[in-house]
């Protein structure tokens, strides 16, 4: 069974040409996700692991930043589900991140 860090590195290499924010995504994996999930086997990551990670990250980061990092984790785990390596993505049942505000947009004069 793949470890999270090995699978994430392989996933990142496959997606390199299609990712819009490759550097940011690589940072999410190397700095945040590998420290929490890196040594675990993909099928050993649980919902409680994800919730614990969210709680730890919320102490120091804004809700939107944690959500973006969680989206990277989600993409990797969804790919593992499609590949048949795990049955279910543990972040599907994880707690929702509260405090994310929608971006404000102001209408320009010419749009009226």
For residue 5, the model assigns a pLDDT of 96
pLDDT tier for residue 105 given thresholds of 50, 70 and 90? confident
pLDDT tier for residue 95 given thresholds of 50, 70 and 90? confident
Measured CA to CA, the distance from residue 42 to residue 46 in angstroms comes to: 9
Of 45, 31, 46, 52, which Cα lies nearest the Cα of 2?
Answer: 45
34-69 confidence digits (pLDDT tens): 999 999 999 999 999 999 999 999 999 999 899 999
DSSP-derived 3-state class of residue 16: coil
| Total residue length of the chain | 112
DSSP-derived 3-state class of residue 3: strand
């Amino acid at each position: 069974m793949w470890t999270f860090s090995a699978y994430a590195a392989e996933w990142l290499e496959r997606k390199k040409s299609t990712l819009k924010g490759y550097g940011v995504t690589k940072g999410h994996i190397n700095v945040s996700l590998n420290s929490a999930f890196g040594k675990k086997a993909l099928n050993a990551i649980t919902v409680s692991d994800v919730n614990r990670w969210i709680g730890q990250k919320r102490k120091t980061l804004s809700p939107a930043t944690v959500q973006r990092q969680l989206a990277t984790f989600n993409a990797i785990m969804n790919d593992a589900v499609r590949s048949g390596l795990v049955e279910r993505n543990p972040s599907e049942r994880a707690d929702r991140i509260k405090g994310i505000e929608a971006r404000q947009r102001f209408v320009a004069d010419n749009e009226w």
